[in-house]
Homo-oligomer: A and B are copies of this chain.
Amino acid sequence: MPYRRTPRIQARLDTQRAAIVDAATELLAESGYAGCSVAAVAAKAGVSVGSVYRHFPGKAELVAELFRVVVSREVAAVDEASQRPGEITERIVAVIETFAGRAMKAPRLAYALLAEPVDAPVEAERLRFRRAFRDIVADRIEEGVAAGVLPPQDPHITAAALVGAAAEVLIGPLTAENTDSTDTATMPALCTFTLRALGDAHA
């Protein structure tokens, strides 16, 4: 009788795969892509290097999946913030605040997701996820325009601009070597920028 992967074995493999991705996430948050050597990931996950290659064809695929998993969390958090009740402009600011606040709470990880130079496949993922963020913001802007709260504008263009602005602004503090935990200036500046750019009357 041929070898069959039993549910029990399958469950263990799934657990192991998750452990590998979790370990890689921690390493990414500590020291970026450079810290995510296959050996380090395997050690942290408590598996052998060979086991890593049982789940991923190579380091590139591991890193790509790692990136997707971690950014998906951010997209979910931002999406949740965008759906909180309240005035439209406040909700859009909440999206930006969530995006930036999470980044500044985990600066090394945020740098890895937003800007750290990596290989082309991960860059392709970056482009994809930026569109996801943009679409979330665009939906809110569209509502605001329809409701007459915001002046007429192309929601996708403004949304792209706001996402690009937030990302670029964050790269500054994130690139500074001495992570200034008392950076109290960036967040309010970004929120003011957002409100003004939207054409909000009260800004």
Contact mask A167-187 → B, CB, 8 Å, 1/0? 111011001000000000110
Check A193 against B124 for contact (C-beta < 8 Å): no
In the complex, the chain B residue whose C-beta lies closest to that of A122 is B117
Which B residue sits closest to A158, measured CB to CB? Answer: B193
Tell me the number of copies of this protein.
2
Q: How far is the CA of A162 from the CA of B175 in the complex (A)?
A: 18
Docked pose: A185 CA to B154 CA in angstroms: 8
The residues of B that contact A164 with a CB separation of less than 8 Å are 164-169
A114-168 interface with B by 8 A CB criterion: 115, 117-124, 126-127, 130, 134, 153-154, 156-158, 160-168
Instruction: Report the interface size class on chain A.
Output: 35 or more
A58 lies within 8 A of chain B by Cβ: no
Within 8 A of B (CB), among A58-111: none
A163 to B161, CA, bound (A): 9
Binding site for B on A (CB under 8 A): 115, 117-124, 126-127, 130, 134, 153-154, 156-158, 160-169, 171-172, 175, 185-186, 189-190, 192-193, 196-199, 203
10 tightest Cβ-Cβ pairs between the two chains A and B: A164-B168, A117-B123, A161-B165, A117-B120, A197-B197, A164-B164, A165-B165, A157-B189, A117-B124, A160-B168
